[in-house]
Structure 1
Amino acid sequence: MKYVISIIGLLFVFGLALLASKDRKRVRVKPIIIMVVIQILLSWILLNTEIGLIIIRAISTVFSKLLEYANEGVSFVFGGLANKGEAPFFLNVLLPIVFISVLIGIFQYLKILPLIMKGIGLVLSKVNGMGKLESYNAVASMMVGQSEVFITVKKQLGQLPEHRLYTLCASAMSTVSMSIVGAYMNMLQPKFVVTALVLNLFGGFIVTSIINPYRVEPNEDILEIHEEAKQSFFEMLGEYILDGFKVAIIVGAMLIGFVALMAAINNLFQLLFSISFQQILGYIFAPVAFIMGITPSETVRVGGIMATKLVTNEFVAMMDLSKAVKSFDPRTVGILSVFLVSFANFASIGIIAGAVKGLNEKQGNVVARFGLKLLYGATLVSVLSGVIVSIVL
């Protein structure tokens, strides 16, 4: 039965993507089928095989060690601020982002990261049928973040037509940056975080190739990576330390605002209608949860968490999941965890449009115009990842 529901889920995602497609006749089926097969194969390897277990453990061990190092710095500055065993969310989950950001800066400075991004991007372009620029950008979004990635393709931004610009922005919203992965692993099981990273990379291309199909001519597919003026090593360190701290502060501020707002709205709805706002959203999203393979008895609660992620951000939703994780079926936890690992929420529209506008005002306005379509596509990517995981769990 689960495979029947999974097939319905795949058709549901493809159908909704086709509804928003700008040119259905140009949609190429072969690359989509290949990428779906790759998604199923990779998720099966990561979640159900000894090789996958070794890979997940290795990645988890690396991040655990990095978080230990990060906590050394956090403890030095904020030690004694919290009672033993009661470290606040900001100190325990968000501040380690600073150290991960530093490591990304070092790999970028040593030219290791650009080499990896170019290499993976080139291989991906052979699979997805899209351009080298689009493939590079998807990998770069995962490595350096949804705002910073546009700096690396700054030279091309002004010359990109709207359809290619859409694909670049869609990749930035569908993935998550490595600097924040450690924070996710503090809240979700590492195996689901890693699996989501891989699935979203391909899922972004699948959904975008349906919503926004086009071909890139060889003479148009020129990849020039923009490099900032050469900095000294310690200038770079200072910049990435501050950037990481800014991300932690911004996420923390958004959490304060969103969690408080959600509590107020829930209370208001409870007083007026004897039902919370999240429960209402849960009923709306319950059918989507069902086609993702969630047990019918859990669809409303899962739907509420899915909707929370969309209207607030993934951290708020992950906090809700962590509170309810023991009451959910393990398979439900896996599917929902994978769904939550992406930047697909309303706030990301402003973040991405602002990042592009800061580099090219005209193109930033273009991004703002198709912002809702971006969110629609990125949400479908998250649903697709959930459906794929439901097949192998």
Structure 2
Amino acid sequence: MKYLIALLGLLVVFALAFVASNNKNKIRYRPLIVMVILQIILGYVLLNTSAGALLIKGFSSVFEKLLTFAAEGVNFVFCGIVNEGSFTFFLNVLLPIVFISVLIGILQYTKILPIVIKYIGLVLSKVNGMGKLESYNAVASAILGQSEVFISVKKQIGLLPQQRLYTLCASAMSTVSMSIVGSYMTMIDPKYVVTALVLNLFGGFIISSILNPYTVSKEEDILDVHEDEKQSFFEMLGEYIMDGFKVAIIVAAMLIGFVALIALINGIFDGIFGISFQQFLGYIFAPFAFVMGVPWHEAVEAGSIMATKMVSNEFVAMLDLGKHTAMSAKAIGIVSVFLVSFANFSSIGIIAGAVKGLHEKQGNVVARFGLKLLYGATMVSLLSATIAGIFL
């Protein structure tokens, strides 16, 4: 039965993407089939094999260790503010972002990260049938983040047609930054974080290839990655430390605003209709939760968490998921995979603003297709969660 539901889920995702396609005649089906098969194989390996479990354990243990190191710095500054044994979200989840950001900066400075990103991207371009730039950008987005990634391709931003610009932005919204992966792992099971990261990478190509099909000529398929002006090692450290701190503060501010706003709206809905706003959205998202593989009796509950992520952000939704302790392991796993991406309304402004800062005209183009960007990124999350649901 679960395989029939998974098949239905895949058909629903592809149908929704196909209906919104801007050029149905240009869709190339062979790369799509290859990438879906790859997603299924990778989902099976990560969730159902000892090799996958070993890989996930190794990945999560690295971040667990990094978070331990980060805690040393946090404790040095904030020691005594928190009672021993208690948990403070800002200190334990957000501030470690600063340390992870520093490590990314070091890997960038030593040229290790750019080489890894470039060559993984080149390999992916052979599979997905897209350009080298799109493949590079997808890998870079998963490491650098949805706004920072555009700096590395800023030389080409002004030269890109709308179709290629959409794919770059869709990749950025469909993934998450490596600097906050450790924070996610403190809120949901690391295996779902790793699975989502891998599946979303291919899912972004799949959905973009349907929504926004195009071909790139050899003359256009040039990968020209921008390198920042040479800084001293300690200048770089200072920059990445401040960047990481800005991310932590921005996320904290957004959480305060969104959690309070949702509480207000829930109170209004409860007073007028007798149900919360999240429960109301849960009924709308319940059919999507069901075709992803969530049991029907939990679909409304799962749908409300999915909707929370879309209207606020993934942090708010992950905190909400942690309160639903009675949900089955299968439902929690599927919803967890769905939550690991930047697909929410606020990301439209973040991405449009990042591009606008580099090229004003292209930033306006991004703002115009912002809702379609969110639509596509949400389809990526639905696809990844549906694939994961087969093996949970």
Query: Would you say same fold, with TM above 0.5?
Result: yes
Distance in 2 (CA, whole Å) between partners of 1:80 and 1:180 is 25
Q: CA deviation at 1:92?
A: 0.5
Match runs of 1:188-337 below 5 Å: 188-324=188-324, 326-337=325-336
Distance in 2 (CA, whole Å) between partners of 1:96 and 1:161 is 38
Distance in 1 (CA, whole Å) between partners of 2:71 and 2:131 is 41
Distance in 2 (CA, whole Å) between partners of 1:392 and 1:57 is 18
Q: What per-residue deviation string (whole Å, max 9, x for no partner) do you get for residues 55-101 of structure 1? A: 01100110000000000000000011011122310000000000000
- For the pair 1:96 / 2:93, whether they are aligned, the reply is no
Matched AA of 2:338:
F
Distance in 2 (CA, whole Å) between partners of 1:163 and 1:232 is 38
Distance in 2 (CA, whole Å) between partners of 1:73 and 1:56 is 26
Q: Secondary structure at the match of 1:327?
A: coil
Query: Once structures 1 and 2 are overlaid, which stretch shifts more, 371-380 or 76-85?
Result: 76-85
CA RMSD of aligned residues (A): 0.5
Matched AA of 1:377:
G
Q: CA deviation at 1:323?
A: 1.1
Q: What per-residue deviation string (whole Å, max 9, x for no partner) do you get for residues 88-141 of structure 1? A: 100000000000000000000000000000011000000000000000000000
Matched residue, 1:66:
66
Matched AA of 1:328:
M
Q: What per-residue deviation string (whole Å, max 9, x for no partner) do you get for residues 337-367 of structure 1? A: 0000000000000000000000000000000
Distance in 2 (CA, whole Å) between partners of 1:253 and 1:86 is 22
Unaligned runs of 5+ in 2: none
TM-score (norm 1): 0.99
Matched residue, 1:361:
360
Are the equivalent residues in 2 in contact too, given 1:40–1:392 (CA < 8 A)?
A: no
Distance in 1 (CA, whole Å) between partners of 2:72 and 2:331 is 35
Q: Secondary structure at the match of 1:77?
A: helix
Q: CA deviation at 1:308?
A: 0.3
Q: Secondary structure at the match of 1:153?
A: helix
Distance in 2 (CA, whole Å) between partners of 1:231 and 1:376 is 39
Matched AA of 1:18:
F
Q: What per-residue deviation string (whole Å, max 9, x for no partner) do you get for residues 289-336 of structure 1? A: 010010010000000000000000000000010111x20111111111
Distance in 2 (CA, whole Å) between partners of 1:303 and 1:53 is 28
Matched residue, 1:150:
150
Matched residue, 1:181:
181
Distance in 2 (CA, whole Å) between partners of 1:390 and 1:57 is 20
Match runs of 1:367-378 below 5 Å: 367-378=366-377
Distance in 2 (CA, whole Å) between partners of 1:260 and 1:194 is 30
Q: Secondary structure at the match of 2:82?
A: coil
Matched AA of 2:284:
I
Q: Secondary structure at the match of 2:9?
A: helix
Are the equivalent residues in 2 in contact too, given 1:286–1:303 (CA < 8 A)?
A: yes
TM-score (norm 2): 0.99
Q: CA deviation at 1:150?
A: 0.3
Aligned pairs, how many? 392
Distance in 1 (CA, whole Å) between partners of 2:91 and 2:85 is 12
Distance in 2 (CA, whole Å) between partners of 1:215 and 1:392 is 34
Matched AA of 2:387:
I
- For the pair 1:343 / 2:337, whether they are aligned, the reply is no
Unaligned runs of 5+ in 1: none
Matched AA of 2:360:
E
Distance in 1 (CA, whole Å) between partners of 2:172 and 2:85 is 36
